Amino acid sequence: MNIWDMLSYAAWVAAGLFLLWIVVDAIKVSLTYDEDLLMSSREGLDELDPDQAQSHAVENSHAK
Amino acid sequence: MQNNTTTESTGTGTHMNMLKVLTPFHVWALGVGIVLVGEFMGWNFSVAKGGAYGALIACWVIGLLYSCVAMIDSEVTSTVAAAGGQYTQAKHIVGPLMAFNVGLYLVMAYTMLEAADALIVGDLMTAMAATFGHEGLDPKPFVVLTIAFLAWLNYRGVFTTLSLNFVITIIAFASILVLFVAVEPTNPGAVLQHEGLLTDLPYGWIGVVASLQFGMWYYLGIEGTCQAAEEVRSAGRSIPLGTMGGMMTLLIAATLTWYICTGLLPWQYLGQAFTPLYDAASILGNTKLQVLLFVATMFAAIASANGCINDAARAWFSMGRDSYMPSFFGAIHPKYRTPYRAIIFLVPIAVSFAFTGLLDQVITFSILSGLLGYTFMSLNVIKFRKMWPLGSIHRGYVHPFHPLPAYTLLALCSTTYFATFLGYGSSLLSILAFYIVASIWFTVRRYKFVKRGEQFTMSWPRPKGF
Amino acid sequence: MENIYKPPKQKWFGQAFDSIFILVLVYASLMAPLLLDSDDEVINPDNLSVQVSPTWEALNVNAVEQQQWEKLGFDAEKAAELINKRFDYTIEPISLIVTALFIIGYFFFMLKVSKKQYLEVIAEKFGSSSQD
């Protein structure tokens, strides 16, 4: 087995580890956090739109 | 690495939003990073289609097309600052079905380009092994590793991802400048042989038109800067700055690349070369330059794949957030603040595109999806100015000479469709068929899951004429 | 704000089905051109069959070009294969018209349906009448 074969195997293993890491983390996140919270991002909240950002913030404080 | 995971101070306690951490440099790195690989490979197929001069005309005509794209996009995005980019623009200005199609263009164009980029990395590894005497190295593990590593990086936060892109894109761009200096441009005939190598148009003007299709490689993806809109600080200023700066970088890089390659390689060779800039460096007989260009080609491919993952995931995420696509994908990672489910979902898809063995088809699909998107942009900006005239809403940037850029863009897009028809007529039809079937599917089945009024999220007044 | 449309919640099975559906569609359209047999690239047969072992002169290669070809490691025979490759740009008017109609029809259909849906969005967001 030469260095290139070893590199190939190393690449497979490394790729597997990276993918395993993100999948495990994603599952952990789903189990730990409430789905509604994960889905709660809002489009268009931006400093371009100070009024809107504020009104959303107000909505939030009411929601609590 | 973790400086982007601090909690937000904007008071959006119950909202899990993306982090605003990016600067104009990141925007530049995202745009140029996706595109620059086109200078290292791909653009040269336009030489085969229309000869060396044909490719130069294509470079500048398509450069004009993309300058229109960059101007129009900068104006609309500086107003609609959301992760979906053109998808969100379409939703607010044209309507839901258009938005669905635009979202699909983005996801398809970027995911397929990502697959092609990863394949390049794999092929470069195989080529490197061959130069060291190991023939027939399997590129697959390196293709998968590229996609897996970049997905992991994207998953862990946008700041690190695009900072890396900035560094490797700068190196790749610098390598073109170094090569340009090395070929002694002030001393024509010494190294560069334009006089002997440049020929008349081999196919006449029809060949020039045909070469427009691959001329898109010089710039394809610069419009991806918009996808960063939700994560960049003061988007209204940063996006136009990064996009325009990127466009200028690319015009320079494209012209230099053409100049170097056509001065060293016979056009028939150049027209089918796999790595033209690297080949140009290799025949100079300077090992250092050769290594530099090899590394730069690799970096350019990685930067492109990285930017593509970033953009495709954001487009897919935005469609999920509005239930255009399954709402499962509209989730944000609580710690890294990235669209993590969209990132994971697109990994196996990119890998499968890379392994279909239909690279030609995949690339055509990607280019054509981009082209459909530009056609949309010209229609979009005309409507945008009509429905919200200047002064009615705050714009971060206003592009000059409206409606000239819009009509120029539309005309150039039509010509490029014709170019695609010349080379890939049946692919063109089958790709259009895909978007038509998908549109029907969306209208009949998906749209019932979408909230109506709520998808209009900008705090603009009622559009004129509605 | 009358009559706000309330979309149904989609179960996970439907979500998975929809994700897969769109993928199947993509693969189908990637494969389709292979079945349609697109032969866009043709090798010029006159040049190829006549020349058994071509020379640089016969290929119309000038001295500078020859020098660069040789630097790239090509001899005349290997280069001939690339040099004789030609594209065919004959335009079939019928397929051009069909393609053009296809593109225009696609955009027309999309803009029309979008407008209908957009009116609904605006009505729900800003109220149904257009007077301010």
pLDDT digits (tens, 9 = 90+) for B107-134: 999 999 999 999 999 999 999 999 888 8
Given CB atoms, is B457 within the 8 Å cutoff of chain A?
A: yes
The answer to whether residue A6 is domain-embedded is no
User: What pLDDT, on the 0 to 100 scale, is given for residue B194?
Assistant: 94
| C46 phi/psi in degrees, rounded to 5 | -60, -45
Cβ atoms < 10 Å from Cβ of B291: 11
User: What pLDDT, on the 0 to 100 scale, is given for residue A45?
Assistant: 63
Q: What does the domain layout of chain B look like in residue ranges?
A: 24-390+402-450
Please list every residue in chain B whose beta carbon sits closer than 8 Å to the beta carbon of residue A46. 81-82, 230, 235
The answer to whether residue A44 is domain-embedded is yes
- Give the integer Cα–Cα distance in Å for B27 and B14: 28
Question: Amino acid letter at B58?
Answer: A
Mean pLDDT of all residues in B307-311: 97
Q: Is C50 exposed, middle or buried, given 0-12, 13-18 or 19+ CB atoms closer than 10 A?
A: exposed
Q: Is B195 exposed, middle or buried, given 0-12, 13-18 or 19+ CB atoms closer than 10 A?
A: exposed
> pLDDT above 70 covers what percent of chain C?
83
Are residues C25 and B434, on separate chains, in Cβ contact within 8 Å? yes
Mean pLDDT of all residues in B353-372: 89
- Three-state DSSP at B232 gives strand
Mean pLDDT of all residues in A8-32: 96
Subunit partners of chain C (3 or more CB pairs within 8 A): B
- Structure-token pair, residue B224: 């991806």
Please list every residue in chain B whose beta carbon sits closer than 8 Å to the beta carbon of residue C106. 432, 435-436
The shortest C-alpha distance from C68 to chain B (Å) reads: 6
pLDDT band for position B1 (50/70/90)?
very low
pLDDT digits (tens, 9 = 90+) for C11-27: 889 999 999 999 899 88
- Give the integer Cα–Cα distance in Å for B93 and B463: 9
The answer to whether residue A3 is domain-embedded is no
pLDDT digits (tens, 9 = 90+) for B414-464: 999 999 999 889 899 999 999 999 999 999 999 999 999 999 999 899 999
User: What pLDDT, on the 0 to 100 scale, is given for residue C128?
Assistant: 77
Higher pLDDT, C7 or C46: C7
Tell me, what's the ipTM? 0.90
CA dihedral in degrees (B348, B351, B355, B360; nearest 10)?
Answer: 120
Angle at B458 between CA A41 and CA B311, to 5 degrees: 55
Q: Which residue of B has its CA nearest to C96?
A: B421
User: What pLDDT, on the 0 to 100 scale, is given for residue C118?
Assistant: 96
The crossing angle, in degrees rounded to 10, of helices B359-387 and C93-126 is: 50
**What CATH fold (topology level) applies to the domain B24-390+402-450?**
Amino acid/polyamine transporter I (1.20.1740)
Given CB atoms, is B359 within the 8 Å cutoff of chain C?
A: no
pLDDT digits (tens, 9 = 90+) for B196-255: 999 999 999 999 999 999 999 999 999 999 999 999 998 889 999 999 999 999 999 999
User: What pLDDT, on the 0 to 100 scale, is given for residue A47?
Assistant: 47
A-B contacts at Cβ under 8 angstroms:
135
- Give the integer Cα–Cα distance in Å for B113 and B108: 8
Please list every residue in chain A whose beta carbon sits closer than 8 Å to the beta carbon of residue B11. 57, 60
Please list every residue in chain B whose beta carbon sits closer than 8 Å to the beta carbon of residue C108. none
| B124 phi/psi in degrees, rounded to 5 | -65, -40
Centroid of chain to Cα A9: 29
Given CB atoms, is C11 within the 8 Å cutoff of chain B?
A: no
User: Which range marks the domain in which residue A18 is found?
Assistant: 13-63
The shortest C-alpha distance from C29 to chain B (Å) reads: 5
pLDDT digits (tens, 9 = 90+) for B72-99: 999 999 888 888 899 999 999 999 999 9
Mean pLDDT of all residues in B165-185: 96
Cβ atoms < 10 Å from Cβ of A17: 12
Mean pLDDT of all residues in A37-59: 60
- Structure-token pair, residue B302: 């990685």
Check if the beta carbon of residue B379 is closer than 8 Å to that of residue B99. Answer: no
- Residue-wise DSSP of B322-354: TTSS-GGGG---TTT-S-HHHHHHHHHHHHHHH
- Three-state DSSP at A48 gives coil
